[in-house]
Structure 1
Amino acid sequence: MINFVTDAKRLIGRRFRDNNLQNDTDVRPFKVINTIDPGKTDQPMISVNYLGKEKKFTPEEISAMTLAKMKAVAEAFTGSIVNHAVISVPAFFNDSQRRATKHAGFIAGFNVVHIINEPTATAMAYYDLEMKMNRINKNPKIVLVFDLGGGTFDVSLVVIEKARITVKAVSGDTHLGGADFDNRMVRGFVMEFEQKHKKDISKNAGALARLRVASEKAKRVLSLLPQADVQIDCLFEDIDFNSTITRASFEHLNMDLFEKCIDIVEQCLSYAGVNKLAVHDIVLVGGSSRIPKVQQMVQEFFNGKELCKHVHADEAVAFGAAMHAFSKSNGTITNKDIVLSDVTPLPLGVELIYGKMDFIIPMNEPIPIKFRHRSYPLAEDSYNGFKFGVYEGDQTNVKDNNYLGLCEFFCYHFPRGTTYIHVYFSVDEDGLLSVSAEVKEMGRLSQRIYMNHHGRLTQTEIVRMINEAEHYKAQIEKRRKLLQEKSDLENYVKNISDGLDDEGTIDINDLELERMKQAALDSALQLLERNSDLSEISVLAYKLEELKNIFGDFES
């Protein structure tokens, strides 16, 4: 059974009951369930079939598999071990998503040097190209990065001045991108199939997976042609599916999402306090930025200004992240180190009485932030300790924001009036938040605590996942070896059979040898016909060696 898991990036760091996560259930070709771990309530798990049994993975583990694959690719290319990594994330990723991504890097075997925002990495790639064309001078250049990828959408307003890249503002949606355009098509094709054949395929993971692949292919075709054909053989119960979608119908299907992209661009400019006429360049990256209607709408918003397309839409983020990684490893780029200055994507604060949010760090604040301090008088006497939540978001009610963790004081009698709570926030270069708090009574320190991050993987869990990842890697290598040994034996047996057919005669002077040859060949065929497991790798290798000793080398 083939497991088709996509868009782990849209799951990582989210809660199971997250509306965005639940809204994709009808078109997701794999199963997402709530964790059964009592200490990790509301955490999504991805359920797959592994060696005939159900196996559950966290989104961090799935992301780690992708990172581990890239680690292997990099090591094969460079011929050396790769231990360190700079990982790019959407600029609008919140603290939970960034922390989970960093954990995925650890599980994959990396020391994560830095988490860089994708539009910021794009700005680095843009800077490199502009330098090569001698278009960077002493005058500041205002650049808007429009990053519409497969699962997320980011807009960053960046100022480039000499070798300094300063992000002034970010906006975005971590659940808006090419996958949403694909999902709209998939839903339409599911309805079309049911109308034509009176069969519901919405619960068939295999059919949904094939429809998703076909929809993505059609979307790419529509960026070049006015119409795309969708043809899938034996989609469901041996029924073929054939359909056509036009560019006009695709645009109509997704117009509200395209308009949302423009709204986010406008929002970003507003956050930065910059008029759209002041923008020097609009850089489009991400595969979905190639959609003609998207380009048209962006250009119209900027009063017909020419869009910058010389930055590679698919490779810009990776290129910029690689530049940053090189700089982090004490390398020098164009004789100058590029200085990056990023910002917080969302406000950060604590819960006050009546569930209200007190914002301690505003959005689009330059990072790193060493510390921000806020003091609160205790509102009422406390005999059994007290606690308060830490949140991320721009809503005044904390229930509408993202819950990050808890600060809790235990077993102290704190009288009101003379007791003050002091809260300290800091944000590092990765955009990760640290919170500490202390209680002072009559000016004397009584207790100091640190925030317990909600849903965060413990060190024990990370170590377990690292060990499991190594186990799966070893299993995959063994299965690859099994398939290779089986293929080698199949090819050799075929060559023997073809050779014997060509000879067409039997040596009657040595019938015993002929019987031995036939017995060895029959034994090999029986071995190939059964479903070999990993324990038979050596058996297959031995059988091939045995045949070679009897028949010699057979060339195909």
Structure 2
Amino acid sequence: VVTNCKNTVQGFKRFHGRMFSDPYIQSAKSNLVYDLAQMPSGSTGIKVMYMEEEKVFSIEQVTGMLLTKLKETAESALKKPVADCVISVPSYFTDTERRSVMDAAQIAGLNCLRLMNETTAVTLAYGIYKQDLPTPEEKPRIVVFVDLGHSGYQVSVCAFNKGKLKLLATAFDSELGGKDFDNILVNHFCEEFGKKYKLDVKSKPRALVRLYQESEKLKKLMSANSSDLPLNIECFMNDIDVSGKLN
């Protein structure tokens, strides 16, 4: 991602089923190191160099590539072909976003039996084989699941009995994830380095990637320490070493 940042695509799950003109896409664009482009249909595409040529792939094609890779990995581990799958998506995904994921599965040659909400997948993984749950006649055990992921925040409340589970409620904030904390730190340091060293960080994708990586490390350190913590990057831009601190 540092040596070939323009051609390394990541964090594209939230671009499914969105038009290029969508305000979410337009605001996300400035924080990306790779390029987004408009497809002829008006939807969002990703611009990369592929086989020495500049190409624009749809989000479905890119997710299709990812699913194809996962399919190959699974096949080599299981030593048999994989055709059927179930894919989990955030509970806040709209119908359009879900259709877009289904299309990606089709591109990868997978038969997607169904899409499942991530919140439901988590409750199933937790409770489907659990032996110590109350019997169907008894009062259910209530469990709350909190998932703060990279791009979204989801909470679900589930009632468990042996052999049965019932989702009582789900709530979410689709605009709050780990990447949003990273963005705030990155923008803070972009501003600080602009004043302190007269550097325009966002003009250099490679520097921006390195700042993202260091900010993420700093975020993890800050969650366990309340003292001032340093951020140092050598030869950051134009051979300048930069440093900052935050608590």
TM over 0.5, shorter chain: yes
Q: Pairwise CA RMSD of aligned residues?
A: 2.1
Structure in which a larger fraction of residues adopt helix: 1
Letter of the 1:26 partner, please give it.
Answer: S
1:26 to 23, 30, 39: 30
CA distance in 1, matches of 2:107, 2:246: 42
Letter of the 2:238 partner, please give it.
Answer: E
Shift in alpha-carbon separation, 1:221–1:107, aligned structure 2, 3 A: farther
Letter of the 2:110 partner, please give it.
Answer: F
Write out the 4+ residue segments of structure 1 that deviate beyond 4 Å after TM superposition. Answer: none
Aligned to 1:237: 238
Shift in alpha-carbon separation, 1:149–1:240, aligned structure 2, 3 A: same
CA distance in 2, matches of 1:173, 1:231: 33
Aligned to 1:77: 77
Letter of the 1:8 partner, please give it.
Answer: F
Note if contact 1:147-1:154 (Cα within 8 Å) is conserved in structure 2.
Answer: yes
CA distance in 2, matches of 1:4, 1:80: 30
| Cα deviation, residue 237, structure 1 | 1.9
Note if contact 1:5-1:30 (Cα within 8 Å) is conserved in structure 2.
Answer: yes
2:208 paired with 1:208: yes
| Cα deviation, residue 75, structure 1 | 2.1
CA distance in 1, matches of 2:214, 2:52: 28
Deviates more, 1:177-186 or 1:9-18: 9-18
Q: Which of the pair has more CA radius of gyration?
A: 1
Aligned to 1:12: 16
Secondary structure in 1 aligned to 2:203? coil
Deviates more, 1:61-70 or 1:225-234: 225-234
Aligned to 1:62: 62
Equivalent pairs counted in the alignment come to 240
TM-score by length of 2: 0.87
Shift in alpha-carbon separation, 1:92–1:109, aligned structure 2, 3 A: same
CA distance in 2, matches of 1:159, 1:234: 54
Q: Deviations over 1:420-470 (max 9, x none)?
A: xxxxxxxxxxxxxxxxxxxxxxxxxxxxxxxxxxxxxxxxxxxxxxxxxxx
Secondary structure in 1 aligned to 2:176? coil
Aligned to 1:378: none
2:174 paired with 1:170: no
| Cα deviation, residue 128, structure 1 | 4.4
CA distance in 2, matches of 1:163, 1:215: 44
Aligned to 1:188: 188
Shift in alpha-carbon separation, 1:222–1:105, aligned structure 2, 3 A: farther
Structure 1, unpaired ranges of 5+: 247-556
Secondary structure in 2 aligned to 1:147? strand
| Cα deviation, residue 108, structure 1 | 2.0
CA distance in 2, matches of 1:66, 1:224: 34
Equivalent runs, 1:536-551 vs 2, <5 Å: none
CA distance in 2, matches of 1:190, 1:229: 15
Note if contact 2:229-2:245 (Cα within 8 Å) is conserved in structure 1.
Answer: yes
Aligned to 2:223: 223
Secondary structure in 2 aligned to 1:45? strand
CA distance in 2, matches of 1:6, 1:228: 28
Structure 2, unpaired ranges of 5+: none
Secondary structure in 2 aligned to 1:17? coil
CA distance in 2, matches of 1:225, 1:80: 48
CA distance in 1, matches of 2:63, 2:185: 26
Secondary structure in 2 aligned to 1:65? helix
Shift in alpha-carbon separation, 1:217–1:82, aligned structure 2, 3 A: farther
Deviates more, 1:218-227 or 1:117-126: 218-227
Shift in alpha-carbon separation, 1:115–1:161, aligned structure 2, 3 A: same
Secondary structure in 2 aligned to 1:27? coil
Q: Deviations over 1:336-358 (max 9, x none)?
A: xxxxxxxxxxxxxxxxxxxxxxx
| Cα deviation, residue 56, structure 1 | 0.7
CA distance in 2, matches of 1:179, 1:158: 27
| Cα deviation, residue 74, structure 1 | 1.7
Aligned to 2:105: 105
CA distance in 2, matches of 1:195, 1:30: 26
Letter of the 1:199 partner, please give it.
Answer: L
Shift in alpha-carbon separation, 1:230–1:4, aligned structure 2, 3 A: farther
Note if contact 1:4-1:209 (Cα within 8 Å) is conserved in structure 2.
Answer: no
Secondary structure in 2 aligned to 1:86? strand
Letter of the 2:11 partner, please give it.
Answer: D
CA distance in 2, matches of 1:207, 1:81: 42
Equivalent runs, 1:453-464 vs 2, <5 Å: none
Secondary structure in 1 aligned to 2:30? helix
Shift in alpha-carbon separation, 1:69–1:240, aligned structure 2, 3 A: farther
Letter of the 2:235 partner, please give it.
Answer: C
Identity of matched residues, %: 34
TM-score by length of 1: 0.41
